[in-house]
Amino acid sequence: MTGDIGLLGGTGQVGAAAARRIAGAGLGAAVRVGGRDLGRAAAIAAALPGPASAVRVDLTDDADLAAFCHGCRVVVNCAGPSYRVLDRVARAAAAAGADYVDAAGDVPVGQLLAADPPPGMHGWRAVLSAGVSPGLTGLLPRLLTADGPLRSLDVFAGGPARSTSVAAVDTLLTRGPEFGLPGAEWRAGQIHEGALKGLDAVTLPGFPEPVTARPFLSAEAERLARSADVDRIRAYTVFAGGRIPDLLASAWATGRPVEDYAAALAAAADEEVTEHGQWFTLLAAARRPPRSTGPVRVLLTTPDPSALSGAVVALSVRAVLAGRVSPGVRHAADVLDPHACLTALRVDPAISLLQIV
């Protein structure tokens, strides 16, 4: 099968990182970099280590989007915000006969596609949540579940990163049962709501300083729990301090439009980076039954979570093209091979530390 790999949002941080990795992977396809600014898209394309072209595309324009997707083997979406894009690009890709990879997407996109399947969906492959979180946060803990049952698995993930007001709206909208349950844990085969409390000024292995951790059993963590033999799963979102979780809690409690809090949330994110630097850490720690063997900890750190998301996008594209993803709408954490990804990520320039012990 011939055709390009079309990459929307290719001028953003995640998209540019994905473009570099896809172009350098020797996949036998040209990269089609799409963005609103043709000059920026052309500059990204010109710097890639393989055949590439640039296309000006407005993903809110039906004709633009259809023309961009035409002739592609895979369409990759790194454009946002997710709450505006939703399933729009996925449907355009399906209409063009192209498989689909989304750096974000998550549960809402899967629900929309399931409720109204696009024509020609038979045999179509779509991989959602192909980023860091969700994405790696559900994938790398599977390195610990692969060697038999676990008594417990604790996952801590997060860190300070800059944000825009538009991106902050995405963050503010990640609430409700389709995303997960705050304060919940998985125990003895079911969800227990309100079981966990937040942790303040907690010191964790691999994290550069004491952090604030808030329990959140995400939809991704629940899928992991249902597919693995683990008695107890606790998942925490990590913040450099208490400013952002307090602001989120306040925004969600008032019932006012989330847009009212977007600027304040973006400003708080920038302040955290100024104070603590930018970093992202993922720690998954397991307890095994007596006399059981296997790794008990995965630790990943990166100074650039956007570049790392681009790496996960590229790994997802490679898996789709290699036929390692079965037809249907999937999530990256559920279909990528964690051991193959571990091998690839060990040499990725976005990683500062990746260990399994």
Distance CA 248, CA 271 (A): 15
> Which of 321, 330, 295 minimizes the C-alpha distance to 31?
321
Q: Does residue 16 fall inside a structural domain?
A: yes
SS3 318: helix
Q: Does residue 95 fall inside a structural domain?
A: yes
Task: Write b or e for each residue in 329-339: b if 16 or more Cβ atoms lie within 10 A of its Cβ, otherwise e.
Answer: bbbbbbbbebe
Q: Does residue 138 fall inside a structural domain?
A: no
Identify whether residues 159 and 285 lie together within a single domain.
yes
Identify whether residues 158 and 277 lie together within a single domain.
yes
Of 266, 293, 320, at which residue does a domain stop? Answer: 293
Partners of 262 in the β-ladder: none
Q: State what percent of residues in the chain have pLDDT above 90.
A: 89
Q: Does residue 356 fall inside a structural domain?
A: no
Partners of 155 in the β-ladder: 235, 284
> Cα 235 to chain center, whole Å?
16
User: DSSP code of 139?
Assistant: H
Whole-number pLDDT of residue 68? 97
Identify whether residues 155 and 288 lie together within a single domain.
yes
Identify whether residues 184 and 157 lie together within a single domain.
yes
Identify whether residues 163 and 286 lie together within a single domain.
yes
Identify whether residues 96 and 166 lie together within a single domain.
no
Q: Does residue 155 fall inside a structural domain?
A: yes
User: DSSP code of 28?
Assistant: S
pTM: 0.95
Looking at the structure of the chain, the number of domains it has is: 2
Identify whether residues 285 and 201 lie together within a single domain.
yes
Identify whether residues 284 and 179 lie together within a single domain.
yes
Say if residues 193 and 183 touch (Cβ distance below 8 Å).
yes
Of 293, 319, 340, at which residue does a domain stop? Answer: 293
105-109, 154-158, 335-339, 347-351: lowest mean pLDDT where? 105-109
pLDDT in tens, 260-309: 999 999 999 999 999 999 999 999 999 999 999 999 999 999 999 999 99
Burial class (CB in 10 A: 0-12, 13-18, 19+), 40: middle
Domain extent, residue 253, equals 148-293
Q: Does residue 240 fall inside a structural domain?
A: yes
Say if residues 106 and 87 touch (Cβ distance below 8 Å).
no
Identify whether residues 160 and 278 lie together within a single domain.
yes
Where residue 254 falls among pLDDT bands split at 50, 70, 90?
confident
Say if residues 146 and 338 touch (Cβ distance below 8 Å).
yes
**300 vs 121, which has greater pLDDT?**
300
Identify whether residues 127 and 170 lie together within a single domain.
no
Whole-number pLDDT of residue 80? 85
Of 293, 315, 337, at which residue does a domain stop? Answer: 293
Q: Does residue 139 fall inside a structural domain?
A: no
Unique residue bearing structure tokens 């039954």: 289
SS3 287: strand
Say if residues 6 and 76 touch (Cβ distance below 8 Å).
yes
Q: Does residue 337 fall inside a structural domain?
A: yes
Residue 324, both tokens: 């390692």
Give me the numbers of helices (H) and strands (E) for the chain, helices first please.
15, 17
Identify whether residues 266 and 183 lie together within a single domain.
yes
CATH number at residue 56: 3.40.50.720
Distance CA 68, CA 76 (A): 11
Where residue 83 falls among pLDDT bands split at 50, 70, 90?
confident
pLDDT in tens, 136-157: 999 999 999 999 999 999 999 9
Identify whether residues 41 and 109 lie together within a single domain.
yes
CATH number at residue 216: 3.30.360
